[in-house]
Structure 1
Amino acid sequence: MEELQYFMSNISLSSTPVSLEWRPEGKPSTKFVSSMIYELIRQHQPLVDWHRIIWIKRGIPKHNYLAYLINLNRCPTKDRLIAWHLEVDPMCPLCNREPESRNHLFFECQFSTQIWSQLATKLRLPQTLPTWDRVLQSLLALSGDKHLKYLTLLAWQSTLYEIWSERNTRLHRNSYRSADNLLKRIDSTIRDRISAFRYQNNLTASSCLQLWFSLDPN
């Protein structure tokens, strides 16, 4: 502190007029663009392969963000709460059979498996044991029809959102919904999302909606 005070007291002020110049990229600029400033100050990391199934075009923002948190295992599941030395019942509120964790909720839990298995069949995904890693790999390997790929990712993120919401509702409100009820909510969410961008791109919206109706879960 004394060194700083000494330095400040010995600064010589110039009589030359001072002018300020905006040089965000090392060269003068007359524009302030917030997106450019963000790119300059943020910490850059290598692009991860799963970004394309999280930040999907025409996705639902709150679903995108929750999928991001779940993928990084940042949601306050009971195994994490216990690791933080909180006294909680470790059992999953959806099945009451196994301790709750990210991997258990998505999709080793009997309740969540019932939901995702029906959607996976409808969306023509490989019929494998629905663990988190296997589902993620199957989504990363999606190819072919772009509309089917979009619907698959939209359904996956909607499933994550509904399962996490149901988990919280049971814990904090002591209210229970069936797997069939959640499937209906997921179906409604997907229809509403497609309808929402009909005015921006009617052709894509119509194609997605027709495809969704045509997919037979049986």
Structure 2
Amino acid sequence: MRVGNGLTCRFWTDNWSPFGRLSTFLSDTATSRLGIRQQSTLSQLYNRGTWMLPNPRSDTQLSLHIFLTTLSLSNFDDHYEWELDGKTYTRYSTGQVYRAITMQSPLVPWREVVWFSGSIPKHSFLTWLLVQNRCPTRDRILGWGLQTDPLCLLCGSSPESRDHIWFDCGFAWSIWENIASRCGISPLRSWEASLHHLQGMNGDKARRRLTLLAWQCSLYLIWAERNNRLHRCSFRSVDDLLRQIDTTIRNRIASYRDSNSSIASLMLQHWFSSA
């Protein structure tokens, strides 16, 4: 709180001093000993240029008295500001606060293929988990000491792992091979090679966004199919999933029309040209 006339700034609970809440800073002192009521405002403790506080009896009280010698009330209203690292802001930003209270790590090379403009949030979140190999595939479940069938739920012929499902698995590969060709890229069966290839994509912005959108959608629906087989005993064919991916991509492109009609038009052209 920026102190003005002190009419609304509460002595004990508002964050008006460099010490934060005085009820915490002066916790070694009972409020009754200072003779200041819990709801007292600064204006009630300031009279003709003098602060009406008892003489300090501790180091914390002395620090407060020293600060008060630099502070005087004015005719302006008290008001709040957000301050981070010595800079003031008129609006609150969750991102700025997060960066201020956490250690900053170097940017990872895969950030732009996971979090990109126009992505589908739940698809990006799953991709983020997959990049870090944090999804409960059967190889990881076995690594936790739990008992489970190790075979892939999609093809049933090889041990299940992230690198197998995307896209060494024949079922998943049939999907990605089709979707990649519609995006105009050569599909790769290796997870790491595919990820590296997508990271290096540049050039046509519309085609790049379409490719990332289709890639993440494929990852998401393949994982959803795997889970449906495990938990619901529900099986869909490659053609069923391809139709669902097609519908999802069309709907997402349509959602861009109001904000960026030109890129929506280009993405639809790319998508339909290889249908």
With normalisation by structure 2, the TM-score equals 0.69
2:254 aligns to what? Answer: 195
1:171 corresponds, among 230, 233, 253, to 230
Contact 2:207/2:267, CA 8 A, preserved across alignment: yes
**2:155 partner amino acid:** C
Contact 2:183/2:270, CA 8 A, preserved across alignment: no
Q: Give the deviation of 1:141 after TM superposition.
A: 2.1
SS at match of 2:84: coil
Query: Alignment RMSD, CA only?
Result: 2.5
**1:120 partner amino acid:** A
Q: Give the deviation of 1:48 after TM superposition.
A: 1.2
- Which of the pair has more CA radius of gyration? 2
Distance 1:27 1:93, change over 3 A: closer
Distance 1:202 1:78, change over 3 A: same
2:174 aligns to what? Answer: 114
CA deviation map 1:113-143 (0-9, x unaligned): 1111111222222254x11012112212212
Distance 1:103 1:202, change over 3 A: same
Whole-angstrom CA distance in 2 between matches of 1:181 and 1:54: 25
Greater length-normalized contact order (CA 8 Å, ≥ 6 residues apart) = 1
Q: Give the deviation of 1:36 after TM superposition.
A: 1.8
Q: Give the deviation of 1:157 after TM superposition.
A: 0.2
**2:219 partner amino acid:** L
SS at match of 2:175: helix
2:109 aligns to what? Answer: 49
Whole-angstrom CA distance in 1 between matches of 2:268 and 2:182: 14
Contact 1:125/1:138, CA 8 A, preserved across alignment: no
Question: Identity percentage over the alignment?
Answer: 43
2:132 aligns to what? Answer: 72
Deviates more, 1:197-206 or 1:81-90: 197-206
Whole-angstrom CA distance in 1 between matches of 2:147 and 2:213: 35
With normalisation by structure 1, the TM-score equals 0.87
User: Is the helix fraction higher in 1 or 2?
Assistant: 1
Whole-angstrom CA distance in 2 between matches of 1:31 and 1:126: 46
* Consecutive unaligned residues in structure 2, runs of 5 or more: 1-26, 30-56, 72-79
The within-5 A match list for 1:1-218 is 8=28, 12=58, 14=61, 16=65, 23-27=83-87, 32-128=92-188, 130-216=189-275
* Consecutive unaligned residues in structure 1, runs of 5 or more: 1-6
Q: Give the deviation of 1:210 after TM superposition.
A: 2.0
Whole-angstrom CA distance in 2 between matches of 1:48 and 1:35: 18
